[in-house]
Amino acid sequence: MTDRNTLTMYQADAFSDRVFGGNPAAVLLLDRFLSDDLMQAIAAENNLAETAFAQPHCAGWDLRWFTPTVEVDFCGHATLATAHILASEHDVRGEMVFFTRVGELRVLPLADGYRLDIPCLAPEFLAELPEAVEALFSDVRGQRFRNFENLYVELADEAAVRSFVPDLHRIAKLGPVGLVVTARGNTDDFVSRYFAPGAGISEDPVTGSIHATLVPFWANKLGKNKMSAFQASARGGRLLCELKDDRVLITGKVTTFMKAEVYLPSSANIAQPTRP
């Protein structure tokens, strides 16, 4: 912060080696978190899939993420973007630890990118999807499964994933729960797309967190622990994934797009006590 009403904000494209690729995330590094309402207002103003807010905590950082409409429990690409800004703009070296609602997330800078270490969330298999979206897949033979925040549907092949036309109105009836479609890939081991209109995200370009469940699902199906994944959105992004015990390791690149100043109203509540 340069003064009480001015914040520095960065925007970086995660899972991309160039600007305008991968998934953009805004990052604000703070002495203390802002009020919840103010952080939500900044995220709504940015209108990106996620805006990340980090504050120092012991040997790491507390990290929170907001979509344009809600705070979320888990976000991979904005964690990667935060680590990139800490490394590239603040000369932070070595593995970084982030304390979040889903536990510790770690990011290790590599010679050519970053390795994101997240929990493995084993798929919970379903006989059918909630009524709101089951009709979208009545002819699909693939497996249906979920984790605590998303539903997943296996489609026939990569072409089916790429050509899938989401009914965002129906998917929004799931509330903040997202929907992932996935299939075995042609060039990569598997592909996916992700929709969460109920959380203010029509289609997320590249999503680290969904791979916490995609990786164990495809590791079991393909009989391998190291895989290449591609998220087939319009921007697209490739992730190198590894299932290692109870963790999922994802390697990708990040490119800084922007450094900006945020001007807050003089009445803004810029700090609140750190949450336990």
State the CATH number of the domain containing residue 136. 3.10.310.10
Residue 275: what pLDDT?
39
The predicted-structure confidence for 97-149, as pLDDT tens digits, reads as follows 999 999 999 999 999 899 999 999 999 999 999 998 999 998 899 999 999 99
* Local structure of residue 275 (DSSP, 8 states): P
Is residue 1, in this structure, part of any structural domain at all? no
The predicted-structure confidence for 199-256, as pLDDT tens digits, reads as follows 999 999 999 999 999 999 999 999 999 999 999 999 999 999 999 999 999 999 999 9
Pairing of strands 23-29, 50-57: parallel
Both 141 and 223 in one domain: the answer is yes
* Structural domain total, the chain: 2
Q: Report residue 251: phi and psi, to 5°.
A: -110, 135
Is residue 144, in this structure, part of any structural domain at all? yes
Both 47 and 134 in one domain: the answer is no
For residue 92 the two structure tokens come to 């932070």
Q: Quick check: 264 pLDDT over 80?
A: yes
Task: Name the percent of the chain in helix, strand, coil, to the closest 5.
Answer: 20, 40, 40
Both 97 and 163 in one domain: the answer is no
Query: Is the pTM value of this prediction over 0.75?
Result: yes
Both 240 and 128 in one domain: the answer is yes
Residue 132: what pLDDT?
87
Residue 192's nearest CA partner among 227, 220, 154 is 154
Residue 113: what pLDDT?
94
Which residues are catalytically annotated?
50
Both 240 and 134 in one domain: the answer is yes
Both 229 and 141 in one domain: the answer is yes
Counting Cα atoms < 13 Å in the Cβ hemisphere of 30 gives 25
Counting Cα atoms < 13 Å in the Cβ hemisphere of 269 gives 11
- Secondary structure E strands in the chain: 6-14, 23-29, 50-57, 60-66, 71-72, 96-100, 103-110, 113-119, 124-126, 144-146, 150-154, 178-184, 190-196, 201-204, 226-231, 237-244, 247-252, 254-263
Is residue 183, in this structure, part of any structural domain at all? yes
Residue 138: what pLDDT?
85
Is residue 108, in this structure, part of any structural domain at all? no
Both 235 and 129 in one domain: the answer is yes
CA distance 268 to 235: 35
Both 49 and 137 in one domain: the answer is no
Which domain does 238 fall in, by range?
Answer: 124-244
Pairing of strands 190-196, 178-184: antiparallel
Is residue 79, in this structure, part of any structural domain at all? yes
Both 97 and 165 in one domain: the answer is no
Is residue 66, in this structure, part of any structural domain at all? yes
Torsion over CA of 66, 80, 196 and 37, rounded to 10 degrees?
0
Both 54 and 146 in one domain: the answer is no
Both 148 and 190 in one domain: the answer is yes
**Collapsing DSSP states into helix, strand and coil, what is residue 122?**
coil
Is residue 219, in this structure, part of any structural domain at all? yes
